[in-house]
Structure 1
Amino acid sequence: MDEVRVERRDAVQVITIDRPQARNALTRAVAEAMAAAVDELDADDDLAVGVLTGAGGTFSAGMDLKAFLRGESPAIEGRGLGGITRTPPRKPLVAAVEGWALAGGFELVLACDLVVAAETARFGVPEVKRSLVAAAGGALLLPHRVPANVAMEMLLTGDPIDARRAAEIGLVNRLTPEGGALDGALALAATVAANGPLALAATKAVVRGSADWGPTEGWDRQAQLVAPVFASEDAREGAAAFAEKRPPVWRGR
C-alpha cells in the first residue's frame, strides 16, 4: 500500500506512514497495512526489531476525522488503533518521531517500546478538548510510562508537551536534531537487534506483562517465559561467544 511503506535495513524493519498531506492521519486501510507489517516483523526470523515513523516531518495526527465522519474506523478488532495499540508486536518496536505525535498518533508512540524524537517533536492527547477520551491506549498506558500525576495532567488538560519535556519525564529515550529521528531510531534499533532474539522477545513480554501481574504471579509468569530462553541453543551460543571473544551467531532457537 502506497500510504504505508515497509522496508528492511538489515535486521530492522522500517514502517513509514506516508500520508503527509493528511499529517499521516490513520484510516482503516492504513491500520490494516500496519497490522500486516507487524505480523511480518514477528513472523520473519531475519527481522529482529521494528521502527515506526511518519513521512513529511510529522509522526501522526491520529485518527482521520474525515474518514471517521464517513463511519470508518482505523481500529482493528482485537488489535486496536492502527492495528497495534492493543496488541503490539512480540518483537521490540521503536518510534522515530518528527513533528507532531497527537491523539491516536501519540497512542501509537505508547504502543512502541522505545522512543527517539527530534528536539522539535511535540506530543499530546487532546481528546478531552473535543469531549472524547484517549481510549486507544492513552488513558490506559500513559500512567505506566510517566509519573501518574504527569499522565493525569496531560490527559485532563489535553495540552501538548515538547520533546525535551517528554525526555525529562522518561517518555523519550533519545533526542536528536530536527530531521534526525529516523537515523537515531535506526542506530538504537541496530544495537537492540544485535542481541539474542529469543531473549529480546521474552524480556519484552515480561516488562509488558508485569504491569498486570501480582507479586507472586509475576515470578511464576516470568519463569514460564524465560525457561525456554535459558534452555535454548542461543543461550549456549551467547556463553560460548563470550568465552571465545567473538560475536555471537544467533539462530533463534
Structure 2
Amino acid sequence: MMTNVADNRAGVPMESQDEVLVDREDGVLVITINRPHARNSVTRSASEGIARALDELDVDRDLTVGIITGAGGNFCAGMDLKAFAARGEDPSLPGRGFVGLTEALPRKPLIAAVEGYALAGGCEVVLACDLVVAGQGAKLGIPEVKRGLTAAAGGLHRLPERIPRNVAMELALTGDMMTAERAYQLGLVNEVTEDGQALIAAKALAARIGGNGPLAIVASKRVIVDYPTWSTAEIWERQREITDVINASADAKEGARAFAEKRPPRWQGR
C-alpha cells in the first residue's frame, strides 16, 4: 500500500507530507520522491522524509531491499535551486548528506529505478545506490559546474569509481549528460528497460535478491562496500569478521537443508 511517509511519524510539517511516498510490499520498500512539478528536485523536508524511510528500511526485519524512484517520469533533478536561491535552503542533512543517503549508506541493498532526468544531486543519489535500473530515455549527469557549483554529494569521487576516470572527468568538467544506454555500456546501469518500466524491472530485481538469506545479503553488501578501505594485509581477517558469523548461522544451516530436501528455504534472519 502506498502511504505518506509522515503518516506514522511525528514532527513532519504538513506541507511536506506528500513530497515522499512509501510503498511496502513483499519485503521491498519503495521510496518515491513526489515533486513531479519540479522534476523531483529535493527540498530539506523531502530529504528528511527520505532519511526516515531509509531508517525504516534498515531497522524493519520484514524488509530486505529498498528501491528509490521519482514520480511523474523523472528521477530527481537534484536540489531545489529556487529554494536555494530564495532562502539558502540546504537539502543535505548533517552526517547523512543529500536526501539522508549520500554520506550514510543503508545496510540493506538499495536500487535506483530511474526514468527521465537524474541530474546533479539526483545522479549522486543514483551513485549511492547499489544497483541501477533505467528507462531507455533516462539521462544522467552532474551539471553543477554549469551553475558555478560542484558535485559535492559524492559525484566527484563515486563517478570515477564506477566508470572510467577520463569519462568521469569529462562529465564533471563539461556538465554534459549521458544516456542510459551509455551508462549501461560503462557499467553504471545494471539494466535498461523500455521507458516507464524501470520500477517494474527494479521490483523484479528486488524479488531476486529478497529470496536469499537476509543476513547473507547484508553481509555481502558490507564486504563489497568496505573492502576498498582495507589493507592487503588485513583483507581476509576483516572479511572473516563479517562472514564467519553468517556462515555459522541458523540461516546457513537452513539453506543447506533446503537444498538437500529440494524445497525453498525458510529464513529466520538468525
TM-score per shorter chain, which class?
A: over 0.9
Q: Is 1:99 aligned to residue 137 of structure 2? A: no
Matched residue, 2:79: 63
Matched residue, 2:5: none
**Whole-angstrom CA distance in 1 between matches of 2:223 and 2:22:** 28
Question: Residue 161 of structure 1 aligns to a residue in which SS?
Answer: strand
Match of 1:239 among 215, 237, 256: 256
**Whole-angstrom CA distance in 1 between matches of 2:22 and 2:156:** 29
Matched residue, 1:146: 163
Letter in 1 for 2:106: P
Q: Offset of 1:10 from its aligned partner?
A: 0.8
Q: Is 1:191 aligned to residue 208 of structure 2? A: yes
Letter in 1 for 2:238: R
Letter in 1 for 2:171: M
Q: Is 1:157 aligned to residue 174 of structure 2? A: yes
Match of 1:45 among 61, 69, 74: 61
Higher alpha-carbon deviation: 194-203 or 142-151:
142-151
Q: Offset of 1:219 from its aligned partner?
A: 1.9
Question: Residue 112 of structure 2 aligns to a residue in which SS?
Answer: strand
Please, which runs of 5 or more residues in structure 2 have no aligned partner?
1-16
Which structure exhibits the higher relative contact order, with contacts defined as CA atoms closer than 8 Å and separated by 6 or more residues?
A: 1
**Whole-angstrom CA distance in 2 between matches of 1:217 and 1:5:** 42
Q: Offset of 1:71 from its aligned partner?
A: 2.1
**Whole-angstrom CA distance in 2 between matches of 1:131 and 1:99:** 24
Matched residue, 1:118: 135
Q: After the TM superposition, which segments of 4 or more aligned residues of structure 1 sit over 4 Å from their partners?
A: none
**Whole-angstrom CA distance in 2 between matches of 1:65 and 1:211:** 34
Question: Residue 37 of structure 1 aligns to a residue in which SS?
Answer: helix
Q: What TM-score do you get using the length of structure 1 for normalisation? A: 0.98
**Whole-angstrom CA distance in 2 between matches of 1:136 and 1:217:** 29
Letter in 2 for 1:94: I
Q: Is 1:2 aligned to residue 21 of structure 2? A: no
**Whole-angstrom CA distance in 2 between matches of 1:82 and 1:216:** 36
Q: Offset of 1:223 from its aligned partner?
A: 1.2
Q: Is 1:250 aligned to residue 261 of structure 2? A: no
Match of 1:225 among 232, 235, 242: 242
Matched residue, 1:72: 89
Q: Is 1:25 aligned to residue 35 of structure 2? A: no
Q: Offset of 1:9 from its aligned partner?
A: 1.6
- Cα deviation code 1:95-139 (max 9, x no counterpart): 000000000000000111000000000000011222211110101
Q: What TM-score do you get using the length of structure 2 for normalisation? A: 0.92
Count how many residue pairs are aligned between Structure 1 and Structure 2. Answer: 253
Match of 1:12 among 28, 38, 61: 28
Q: Offset of 1:147 from its aligned partner?
A: 1.6
Match of 1:200 among 173, 192, 217: 217
Q: Is 1:171 aligned to residue 210 of structure 2? A: no
- Cα deviation code 1:181-236 (max 9, x no counterpart): 00010000110111111111111111111222222222222111112111211111
